Structure 1
Amino acid sequence: MARIDIGSGNIGFVEAGGGPATPMILLHGVGSDKTVWHPQLEYFAASRRTIAFDYPGYGQSDPIPGADGETFARAILAAMTALEVEEAHICGLSLGGVIAISMHAHSPQRCKSLILADTFATHPEGQAILDRSISASSELGMRGLAEARVEALIAPGASDAVRAEVVETMSRIDPAAYASGAKAVWLADQRERVAAIACPTLILCGSEDRITPPSLSDDLKHRIPHAALVEIAGAGHLSNLEQPDIFNRVLDGFLAGIED
C-alpha cells in the first residue's frame, strides 16, 4: 500500500501486476476502502497492472474539505495521471460505479471500458437511504452502523469471514468521509451521463442485492443499450467479495472479448 501526491493531497492506493495489457482501476463502495478489492488484485495481477484507490478522506487518502462525488472522480483521475496511467478499464462497485460514470463524463478518452457493479444511474430510495445512513452513523458510530447494516449488505449465505471483513472495514472509515461518500452515492442522478457512454460496458449485479437490486441494473442496461449485463448468483451487494471467483471470471471474459 502506498500514497501518491495529486497536488491537493495524497491518495492511498494498492497495486499489483504489470505488463503491456491495459491497466485496471478498482473503485470501492461507500462503506469500504481499497482493501475490499484484494480478490481482484490477486487474480488480475497475472495479466495486467491493477490499482485500487481510496477516495479523499478514506483509508490512506488525505481529506479534501467539501469533497463530493465530483471531487472523488477528479482525484482518481489525477492519481491515475500521477501514476502514469493514461487509459484504463474502470471498475467501480456501488459508489465506485457512480464515480466511474463521473470519470467517464469528465474524461471519456481515459476509459477503455467501464465495469459497473451493483450500482445505478439514480436510486429511487436514495434520499431515504441517505437519511437513515447519516442518522445511524451519528447515533451508533461507524462500528455500530457496520454491525447493524452488514446483514443487508451481504447475501444470507455469505461466510462468517466475509461478514467479519465487512464490519471491520466499515468500522475504520472516518465519519466525515462516510458522510461525503453517502451523499455522493445516494443523491446521484446520472441518467444523462450514462446515455452518453460509448465505450464497452459491463454491468454486474448480485442476484441477492437488496441495496441496489437487479432492477436498477436492468435500468442501467436500458440506458446503455450496448452494455452487457450479468447477474451473479448467490451474491448480495458486495458481489466482488462474496462471489470473487464468478466475479473475476466474468470480468476476465469481458476484458478478453474487448482486447482481442
Structure 2
Amino acid sequence: MGKHIYSVDQGAGEAVVLVSGLGGLSAFWQPVVNELVGDYRVITFDHPGVGQSGIVGKPTIPGIVEALLSILDACGIERAHIVGHSTGSLVTQAMALDHPGRVKSIVLSSGWARPDKRFLDFFAYRQFVLANLGGTAYNAMTRLVAYPSNWYGDHFASEASLDYSAPSAVDVEMTQARMEMLQRYTRRDELHTLELPACVVGAQDDYVIPFHHAEELARLIPGATLIELSGGHFAPVTRTSVYTSLLRNFWETQK
C-alpha cells in the first residue's frame, strides 16, 4: 500500500464502510452516503493509487484491505458493517476472511467469487479498448454497458456525436493494473468458512457482472441472503433509495 489514504468520515452511530468498485473513488458512494449519514457513521475512501490516495508499487486486493484496516484504526473503530460493490466485493470478502473480528456484517453487491471465461473475455476487451482507443472510448463503453438504457438516456445521451478521441482524465496505467488485479484474485474456496451475517445483491440487468455470480456467492457463503435488485451494474447510483433501504433492513436484522 504505502502513502496517504484519503477517507471521508461522516455521521454518527453504527460504523459502516463502503468500498467502491473498479474506479475506486470515495465519491461513487455519495448518493448512498446522503441517505445513510443521518443514522450511521459512514466511511468511504479512495483506494490506494486512485484519486487522492497514494500507493507504492502495484495495486492489490490485500493492499486495499490494508488501507481499510488503517482507516478503521485511525477512526478508533473496532468493528464495522462492510459494503463492497463490484471490485469492492473482493476487498470485503478478503476483509471478512482475514479479519473477521473487525467485521459486523458484509454486503456484496455486483460481486463475484471467481472470474469465469466470459468475465475474463469481457475484461480483456475492456483492456483492449482502453489501450488502443483511450479513456474517452473506454468510459463511453462502460456507460453503454453498465447503466440501464433509460438511465443512460436521461443522464448521458446527447444529440451530438460522441468524440471518442477527446482528451480523458482516465489514468490508463493504473486502470489497466487494477483490471489485472481483480482478474487474478479469488478466495472462492474459502467462502464456506465465513461465520458472519452476509447479504448478496445482484441484478438480472447487470451485463458487467451477470446475476449468476451473485447466485454463486450466496450459495457459497453459509446463511447468506440473496437479493435481486434491477438497476444495471451501478444500482447504488441508479436505485439509491431501494439500495439504501435494503442495507438498513439487513443491518436492522443484526440487532
TM above 0.5? yes
Deviating more after overlay: 41-50 vs 133-142: 133-142
Please tell me whether the aligned partners of residues 59 and 181 of structure 2 are also in contact (alpha carbons under 8 angstroms). no
Once the two structures are TM-superposed, the CA of residue 162 in structure 1 deviates from its matched residue by: 5.0
Q: Residues 207 and 15 (structure 1 numbering): CA distance in 2 closer, same or farther, change over 3 Å?
A: farther
Please tell me whether the aligned partners of residues 95 and 181 of structure 1 are also in contact (alpha carbons under 8 angstroms). no
Distance 1:207 1:154 in 2: 12
Please tell me whether the aligned partners of residues 10 and 42 of structure 2 are also in contact (alpha carbons under 8 angstroms). yes
Once the two structures are TM-superposed, the CA of residue 63 in structure 1 deviates from its matched residue by: 2.2
- For residue 179 of structure 2, the aligned residue among 161, 178, 182 is 182
- For residue 251 of structure 2, the aligned residue among 251, 255, 259 is 255
The code of the aligned residue for 2:48 comes to P
Residue 105 (str. 1) matches residue 102 (str. 2): no
Distance 2:52 2:154 in 1: 23
Q: Which residue of 1 aligns with 2:12?
A: 18
Distance 2:180 2:96 in 1: 20
Once the two structures are TM-superposed, the CA of residue 159 in structure 1 deviates from its matched residue by: 4.9
Once the two structures are TM-superposed, the CA of residue 160 in structure 1 deviates from its matched residue by: 4.8
Point out the structure with max Rg over C-alpha: 2
Distance 1:103 1:161 in 2: 37
Q: Residues 251 and 145 (structure 1 numbering): CA distance in 2 closer, same or farther, change over 3 Å?
A: same
The code of the aligned residue for 2:254 comes to I
Matches within 5 A, 1:103-182: 103-124=95-116, 125-160=118-153, 162-163=155-156, 172-182=169-179
Deviating more after overlay: 187-196 vs 97-106: 187-196
Matches within 5 A, 1:82-101: 82-101=74-93
Deviations 1:165-196 (A, max 9, x none): xxxxxx54422321232122233222123222
Moved over 3 A (4+): 159-164
- Structure 2 residue runs of 5 or longer lacking an equivalent are 158-167
Deviations 1:46-103 (A, max 9, x none): 1111011111111110122122111111122122212222211010100000111111
Helix, strand or coil at the partner of 2:5: strand
The percent of aligned pairs where both chains have the same amino acid is 22
Helix, strand or coil at the partner of 1:239: helix
- For residue 9 of structure 1, the aligned residue among 3, 8, 20 is 3
- For residue 226 of structure 2, the aligned residue among 226, 229, 233 is 229
- Structure 1 residue runs of 5 or longer lacking an equivalent are 1-5, 165-170
TM-score (norm 1): 0.87
Residue 194 (str. 1) matches residue 194 (str. 2): no
Residue 60 (str. 1) matches residue 56 (str. 2): no
Q: Residues 41 and 184 (structure 1 numbering): CA distance in 2 closer, same or farther, change over 3 Å?
A: same
Q: Residues 199 and 148 (structure 1 numbering): CA distance in 2 closer, same or farther, change over 3 Å?
A: same
Q: Residues 162 and 258 (structure 1 numbering): CA distance in 2 closer, same or farther, change over 3 Å?
A: farther
Please tell me whether the aligned partners of residues 59 and 173 of structure 1 are also in contact (alpha carbons under 8 angstroms). no
Helix, strand or coil at the partner of 2:137: helix
Please tell me whether the aligned partners of residues 195 and 222 of structure 2 are also in contact (alpha carbons under 8 angstroms). no
Matches within 5 A, 1:211-226: 211-226=208-223
Please tell me whether the aligned partners of residues 57 and 174 of structure 1 are also in contact (alpha carbons under 8 angstroms). no
Between Structure 1 and Structure 2, how many residues are aligned? 244
The code of the aligned residue for 1:128 comes to D
Helix, strand or coil at the partner of 1:114: strand
TM-score (norm 2): 0.89
Q: Which residue of 2 aligns with 1:3?
A: none
